[in-house]
Amino acid sequence: MTFLSHFFSPENHVKVSPRTQTLIALLLLSASAAQAADKPGTPGFGPNVAIFSPKTPAAEIQSQIDKVYAVQQHNQFGKDRNALLFLPGEYKVDVPIGFYTEVIGLGATPDATHISGNVRSEAASRNDNATTTFWKAIEGLAVTPANGQMLWAVSQAVPFRRMHIKGDIVLNQNKGWASGGWMSDSVVDGKVNSGTQQQWISRNSEWGSWTGANWNMVFVGVPQTPAGDWPQPPYTKIEKTPVVREKPFLITDAKGNFSVRVPNIMNNSSGVTWHAGSSPGKTIPLSKFYIAKPGDSAETINAQLAKGSHLIFTPGIYELTYPIKVTRPDTIVMGLGFATLKPIKGTAAMTVADVDGVTIAGLLFDAAETESPVLLEVGSQGSKARHIRNPTLLTDVFFRVGGAGIGKAKVSLAINSSDVIVDHTWIWRADHGAGVGWESNTAANGMVVAGTDVTAYGLFVEHYQEYQVLWKGNGGRTYFYQSEIPYDPPTQAKYTSAPNVNGWASYKVADNVTDHQAFGLGVYSVFRHPDVVLTRAIEVPQTPRVQFHDMITVALGNLGSIDNVISNTGGATQIKPRVTPKVTSYP
């Protein structure tokens, strides 16, 4: 019985007017809401966010984790979204992580939140195959694996950030394949075993040792790189990360109050940010954020942004009839649990003005059946401002056209602003799932860059019908590129970009560009129709300051081929016998 029902119960014989009863009720409800809002560890993140405390019995925590995993383990194209948040302290639980699940430690450093147990990602397909293990994330935790080795079998769109593994980690499951992956701002005390991983990027991370290589392994700002260099083993090493800002993250203080830590921009950095304590930066209280929930309209969200609020999307799918418009400098937009933005009226899902210091983090942009011209646009066409000291950051942003149903978008990500940093993205026209076909999930380009001095780390772009990446701005830099060209061109006539040029290059640098750098690129073919080929994987203008380093092409199926790696250099892929052409530098 609540206090209010007790107050008005017949046995108390309290005589008050109906108006007074209403006023008392409103006061008590307001007090109750204020008390709930002020209670540590209970921000209004909604039902899809679980917040765990070390004071909670381990069995109760384990039960909640298991219930989420029971839904998400095989839920590749489902609608459920979840975030599991751990307050600082010690935990003894096992944490299997399924699709659309994000696991977060809420301490200022990973060591503030320690889990002893099997925190793991298992292969999603049969025969230990992790090549379709997507859309899961972990950050801000120290983990002591139960058997000394953490299992992390993953492929695209799986962020691994601000982690401390007190033991070893293996990046595949048994002998099953895995395809792609990301690690940043993390420490592994023991050995990293990449196993069957086809490609991987590690940025600003540290470990005791690294073993393994396959096609394309890239290390940027990593102090302890393994021995050897491209092409054998296929290691690309960049000593310092030229410019980056780590992803903003949720933290709690000693009183349980939530805030968001926004790390500083770093230039020419190596190793992790948190050895001396919390990552250098600023802290923004949660009261400065509007906490959006599924069902909120774009108009409601835009009104909050216009007032100066930052924004957190809680887990769920947001069907938008109008774009989210980010117009103010230094705005932080974060998603939890793979919050998904879906524009259902043929508009963009989000536009960002050509202003300083915006951050877009942790969101999945999903095309709908009515074609969008673009899903995320950063800066309008013709943007001219420079943002060298305070660039916009796109971090853990993912895009999907088809797979969960018919989806159409001409361009997934358009970057018109200058100095933008892209820090891990998977831009995917679906090759499997629902609504998949050459005439169904139509999409020309994954990413189009018109801005100057745009930098990308961990660029995964796949299956688009024309150029996967079209780079039109000068001064671009890419550190790691992974791309499967489309599986499904039905005929060569429908897959021809110019006279005597079969297909569209995966990575195209526009003819007017005079300055571009790219390091560690893999382009792969799986043609499903006979007599369809690609003339070149990478196409660039012949000019001395457009420079590419460490490239490979591989034919994964027995149909078609890629005739050259870059422009007219490198030679053709081949299945029998296996030929995987590699080019160390171009020109």
Which residues, 6 or more positions from 5, have their beta carbon under 8 angstroms from its beta carbon? none
Structure tokens at 499: 């006279």
Helix H or strand E encompassing 481: strand 476-484
**Residue 566 half-sphere exposure, CB side, CA atoms within 13 Å?**
23
**Cα separation, 427 vs 413, whole angstroms:** 8
Distance CA 296, CA 356 (A): 27
**Pairing assessment for the beta strands 393-401 and 421-429 based on DSSP bridges:** parallel
Report d(CA 404, CA 366) in Å as an integer: 9
Contacts of 367 (CB under 8 A, 6+ apart): 342, 343, 375, 399, 400, 401, 402, 407, 408, 409, 412, 441, 443
Distance CA 461, CA 481 (A): 8
3-state SS class at 316: coil
Q: What does the DSSP 8-state code read for residue 248?
A: P
Round to whole Å and give the CA distance between 320 and 336. 18
Residue 583 and residue 587: Cα distance in Å, rounded?
10
Q: Which of 25, 205, 21 is nearest to 110 (CA)?
A: 205
- Is residue 484 part of the annotated active site? The answer reads yes
Tokens of residue 528, six digits: 């499903």
- Closest of 290, 291, 288, 285 to residue 255, by C-alpha: 285
Q: Determine the length of the chain.
A: 587
3-state DSSP assignment of residue 72: helix
**Which stretches of 109-186 are assigned E, i.e. beta strand?**
113-116, 119-120, 136-139, 142-144, 149-151, 160-161, 164-165, 168-170, 182-184
- Which residue is catalytic, options 102, 466, 484, 539? 484
* Alpha-carbon span 383 to 421, nearest angstrom: 16
Tell me how far apart the alpha carbons of residues 312 and 360 are, in angstroms, rounded to a whole number. 10
Q: Which residues are catalytic?
A: 484
